[in-house]
Amino acid sequence: MKHQALIVVWSTYNVNTSRRIRTVVISLANNTGLKVSRRMSVHRVCWVVVAASTILLGIGLLRCQISDDTENVSLLRKAAELMSAEEIYRYVRWTNTTACLLAVDFGFWVDISRGLWAATHDGRKAVCLDQQTIAPVYNNCLVYSFGVGHQQWTFEEDMAKFGCQVYSFDPSTDVVDDQHNWSRNIHFYNFGLGDEAEDARNLKSAWTIYQMLEDRHGPTTLIDVLKIDIDDLSEWDAIQQLLLSGFLVENVKQLVAGIHFKADESLETYRQRARILQDLESPLVTAEESSGRFVRFSSRPNPTTKRPVAILDGKEEYVGWEMAWYNLRYVLTRKLVDYNYNNKH
């Protein structure tokens, strides 16, 4: 009799538990749009619970990401001249991961002699592959690379393996002209990006370089990826000049750059650098504007550059970052073309 009573109690418990589970599932279904039958077995009900919970968790995480992105986008609108030191670093750190769902690293490498820290240094650059008009086309793409990164060629070699024609530039005296033209896809030139008036450093403007290479890649070919990884904080002047000259907006689909600060720089200098990033990422009002807008999709610190930073009262922060953007102008151009095509057909 005791065993029979236990069986009855256990059966009653299972029935009540099943009903509770079904109640939970029906509640979840109301939130997710899933259709749940009240006659489903407990086994199937459990699977629906897992599916519904996963969906809700994903929605929750997405909302958190959107909330984080929204908070940081507000810094894009705030004048850099008014930013605090903490706000500048929060702005630089903003990854904006929702802008590109397929950001792929080219040039990832591990130097065993230096340990795994070297795996995230110099060579690795993020390239967005999930936008129709932004992603480099396999076996039909163009890359400009300014700065070899202490003769670290992994990015250039990976892009060449992807089928891109890669033009590399570096005025360093330890790099000999044509020494790295062993690949049919990699072409090296012993000059750099900058003000042509500085002849001693063998620098040329982006427009001059592009015109020099017109016979090789065509006069109207867009640069799929332009990489900047140069020394002495020169990347800030380079980005600013590329913007002011209109070269970035007219000719470049994606920009990847290593940016640097000095740990002892003043807040005013940090704000000036943040202003350059804001100019690069300034909102686009209409698709016809020539100013353009570059959308950030990756920002990662160089783990070897953590230093006590003066404007943070000696708190340690990274002074080297790898950042990447795509040109919204060409995304909007594609949408306008699709819209016009659909209206005509």
Q: Is residue 211 part of a domain?
A: yes
Give the confidence band of 343 by pLDDT, cuts at 50, 70, 90. Answer: very low
Contact 193/223 with Cβ under 8 angstroms?
A: no
Distance between CA atoms of residues 105 and 126, nearest Å: 4
Q: Which residue has the higher pLDDT, 50 or 218?
A: 218
For residue 87, what are its two tokens? Answer: 């706000």
pLDDT at 338: 43
Give Dmax over CA atoms of the chain in angstroms.
Answer: 102
Contact 62/247 with Cβ under 8 angstroms?
A: no
pLDDT at 8: 35
pTM for the whole structure: 0.72
pLDDT at residue 68 tops 80: no
- pLDDT digits 0-9 by tens, 157-177: 999 999 999 999 988 756 665
pLDDT at residue 62 tops 90: no
pLDDT at 114: 55
- pLDDT digits 0-9 by tens, 182-240: 678 999 998 889 876 555 568 899 999 999 999 999 888 999 999 999 878 999 999 99
* pLDDT, the chain, mean: 76
Q: Is residue 29 part of a domain?
A: yes
14 lies in the same domain as 146 = no
Any idea what the CATH number is for the domain that residue 240 is in?
3.40.50.150
Give the confidence band of 333 by pLDDT, cuts at 50, 70, 90. Answer: low
11 lies in the same domain as 149 = no
Q: Is residue 72 part of a domain?
A: no
* pLDDT > 70 in the chain, percent: 61
179 lies in the same domain as 82 = yes
Distance between CA atoms of residues 88 and 1, nearest Å: 75
Sheet holding 186-189, edge to edge: 186-189, 164-169, 141-146, 223-228, 252-260, 320-327, 294-301
pLDDT at 224: 97
pLDDT at residue 14 tops 50: no
165 lies in the same domain as 306 = yes
93 lies in the same domain as 178 = yes
- Quick one: which of 191, 187, 184 has its CA closest to 206? 191
- Quick one: which of 65, 70, 28 has its CA closest to 49? 28
275 lies in the same domain as 315 = yes
Q: Are strands 294-301 and 320-327 parallel, antiparallel or unpaired?
A: antiparallel
Distance between CA atoms of residues 290 and 138, nearest Å: 28
Q: Which residue has the higher pLDDT, 336 or 333?
A: 333
Domain that residue 34 falls in: 2-66
